[in-house]
Structure 1
């Protein structure tokens, strides 16, 4: 299942989505400066410890565990952050200077999720539109932000009875994230590369070289 979504502003729920439900909306730079997430050029000197993943610097909560998802071709596909609120995944993508990528793909995501049998609702969050999704016994929240030549997308998966605090925790994670877009031109929707810290990369390499013994 592809995990693309759209932006959010905190507030009331709306009916289930159709592709033409999405109206034009753009997060102004001043709002990003106020709320975060941050472009590398505007990264705050706030003393917050962030995990450096190359294109992303994540303020990983204390006590969280990390799970690395590798692409079969070799690159890192995603880094999942596991907490009491659920599993968080944050990715950044190349986007046009004009913004609006999150809005563009949100209708696609809603239709895809419905095709998988999910219940999909639209809610307004800190940055515009969000998707609140129930799929089986899992509640998912998709939140996205359009930045300068990048789009940040976060999703949290957890139990339905934790859906609200999980959504709040996801917004907090995105709010403190720094995106490192780089100057190289990239096709729109290209995932920004994830680079693991040396210690984590060495741990994974060692685990792959020494598979667990079987009885």
Structure 2
């Protein structure tokens, strides 16, 4: 399900807190021999520049902006990448050793989307079943990948169907080269793996918060 070269699956016919932004220049890396997402214990030495966020290492697309979502206690809740085609969000969660978490989580997300009035489609994508959810304001693609004791979830959000297709492709590229650092600590299933900002970015956000305050 992960870490091996796959035939590129095309889609089926159906196709409150302040959030500081940081600009990135992007980087290029060597051609990949295998596809991720990767576990840190067998991540490739490919020379690709990745943003180290503790539990995940992301290859930030050129020109993307990093948007950090904080919870009321001041901890990082999520990191979003703002691109020209839409918003990309990749998050990692603790998962069981011997069972898949994504089928269960995806079912719950579908129920939630339906309760919020979204139109839902289940589609076959790069790593199996994916979710397409849309309303009059946003088109979402949700992708899940089960790894060793972790689950990686990616969300592409775009305002139009045309941009959603491009955002989905950008999400695939992002997730293929993402590295998950699960660690050995015991964690309850579904617990978000902690996000740690690089010191320079943390200082930038703190300065922005002080200015806004």
Class of the TM-score when normalised by the shorter of the 2 chains: 0.7 to 0.9
Alpha carbon RMSD of aligned pairs, Å?
1.6
What does residue 186 of structure 1 align with? 187
Deviations 1:7-32 (A, max 9, x none): xx5442579xxxxxxxxxxxxxxxxx
Number of residue pairs the alignment of both structures matches: 187
Give the match for residue 174 of structure 1: 175
Residues 54 and 195, structure 2, Cα contact 8 Å, conserved in 1: yes
Q: 1:13 to 1:131 in 2, by over 3 A?
A: farther
In 1, Cα distance between equivalents of 2:67 and 2:164: 21
Query: Does structure 1 residue 45 correspond to structure 2 residue 37?
Result: no
Unpaired runs of 5+ residues, structure 1, are 1-8, 16-32
Q: What secondary structure sits across from 2:129 in the alignment?
A: strand
8 Å contact from structure 2 (residues 142, 154) kept in 1: yes
Q: How does 1:193-212 map to 2 (within 5 A)?
A: 193-211=194-212
Q: Bigger relative contact order, structure 1 or 2, given CA contacts below 8 A and separation 6+?
A: 1
Structure 1 SS opposite 2:98: coil
* TM value normalised by structure 1: 0.83
Contact 2:86 2:164 in 1 (8 A): no
Separation in 2, partners of 1:75, 1:13: 41
The C-alpha deviation readout for 1:101-125, integer Å capped at 9, x for no partner, is 0011111110110110000101101
Between the aligned partners of 2:192 and 2:171, the Cα distance in structure 1 is 20
User: Is 1:112–2:136 an aligned residue pair?
Assistant: no
Query: Which ranges in structure 2 are unaligned for 5 or more consecutive residues?
Result: 1-8, 16-32
